[in-house]
Structure formats: C-alpha cells, structure tokens
Amino acid sequence: MGTWNTRGLRGSTLEELINRTNEQYLEKNLALIQKIPTPITPVRMDKEHRQITLAYFEQRSTVDYIGAVQGIPVCFDAKECAGSTFPIQNIHEHQVVFMEQFERQGGIAFLLIYYTGEGTAYYMRFEELKQFWNRSMEGGRKSFRMEELDPRFFINLKQNYYIPYLDYMNLDLDIRDSLDK
C-alpha cells in the first residue's frame, strides 16, 4: 500500500482550473464531469489543526475525473510537470489499463498535462499516450518531450481561469472519425 504524507498543494493549480471548467460545462449543460476522490485511511492526525498528516491509500485510484459529455462517456487524469520533459513513471500501469478498457467500451480517455514552467497545458489523446507508454515498456525513452507532442493539442489557458478541454476533445473525435473512414 502506498502512503500519503502532506505535500502542500501539489497538483492543486491544475485541479482547480479543471474544477472551475467542469462547473462551467455543467452550468451550460455541456457535460457532467466529477472528480473521483482517492480513498485514504488516516494514520496520524494533527488534532490542533484538524488535519491528516499521514495516511495510506485504501486502493489504487484509476483516473482523476469521469463523466459524460453530450452522451459520450469520458475519463481523464490530470498531471502537472515542472519541466518540458514528462516522465512516463508519473503515469501508472493501472491507469493505462483502465483507460484502455474504458476506450474499448466506447468511451474517450485522455490526459490533461499542465506544464507549470511553460504556463501551458496539453490534451493528450489516449492513442498518443499509448505510443509513449509502449515505447517506454519496450526499452525506449522513459519520458517524452514537449517537442514530440502534436501542436494542435496545446491548450491556450484563457486568462488562467479555465481549461477548454472540450474543444480539444472535439478535435480528438474528428481525428478518430477520419481514421474510421
């Protein structure tokens, strides 16, 4: 079992942007996407501040978000990266397996990666993730660089208020449709 120890606000910037985006999408009846909490069991508490200071994960989480967009099942994970190279080890095998199974059931799976040093985000199609994952598993490079990514999927952060990932999901669907023809 993995353990969790307080690590500040790790990942909170991206999650906050996604959560605000999801609220807007819900208000506009475009999508219903929910954050999936990771179940933890507290081990140590700071009673004075009423905070958990040490806990263990009850089970492996799958992805951060799941829901539906106009009748299409959607799941995605949010990742942050300080540099311009993203380590594959930040994506867990059980997440890739879940996303692959989700896609087989007719859903759309993807990653949203926030490059904090660059101040930009990226919508990574599952197909692209799978290519980098396979390369890594076959003894190749254990990371990918921003230069390797499809420039069409870099997300303009609109005044740092939300991440318009549905625009990029539409592009993802267009690409899938053109490959099916």
CA distance 70 to 164: 15
Q: What is the structure's pLDDT at 109? A: 98
CB 149 within 8 A of CB 124: yes
Query: Is 105 annotated among the ligand-binding residues?
Result: no
CA nearest 121: which of 165, 167, 170, 175?
165
46 in a structural domain: no
Confidence of residue 175 (pLDDT cuts 50, 70, 90): very high
111 in a structural domain: yes
The 10 Å Cβ neighbour count of residue 129 is: 22
Q: Would you state the structure tokens that stand for residue 108, as one six-digit string?
A: 């759309």
Q: Would you state the structure tokens that stand for residue 47, as one six-digit string?
A: 């009673």
Write out pLDDT tens, residues 41-77: 666 777 777 776 776 555 566 899 999 999 999 999 9
32 in a structural domain: yes
45 in a structural domain: no
Lowest-pLDDT range, 36-45, 84-93, 133-142, 164-173?
A: 36-45
Query: Is 64 annotated among the ligand-binding residues?
Result: yes
CB 23 within 8 A of CB 52: no
Lowest-pLDDT range, 82-86, 114-118, 145-149?
A: 114-118
83 in a structural domain: yes
* Average pLDDT rounded to a whole number, residues 6-18: 64
Q: What is the DSSP letter of 157?
A: -
Averaged pLDDT score across all residues of the chain: 86
Q: β-pairing, 108-115 with 72-81?
A: parallel
134 in a structural domain: yes
- Whether the pLDDT of residue 5 is over 50: the answer is no
Cα 8 versus chain centre, distance? 19
Edge-to-edge, what's the strand order for the sheet holding 51-57? 3-5, 51-57, 40-46
- Whether the pLDDT of residue 131 is over 80: the answer is yes
Q: How many domains does the chain have?
A: 1
90 in a structural domain: yes
55 bridge partner residues: 4, 42
CA distance 166 to 161: 15
43 in a structural domain: no
Range of the domain at 108: 21-37+62-180
- Residue 77 sits in a domain whose CATH number is 3.40.1350.10
Q: Model's pTM, two decimal places?
A: 0.83
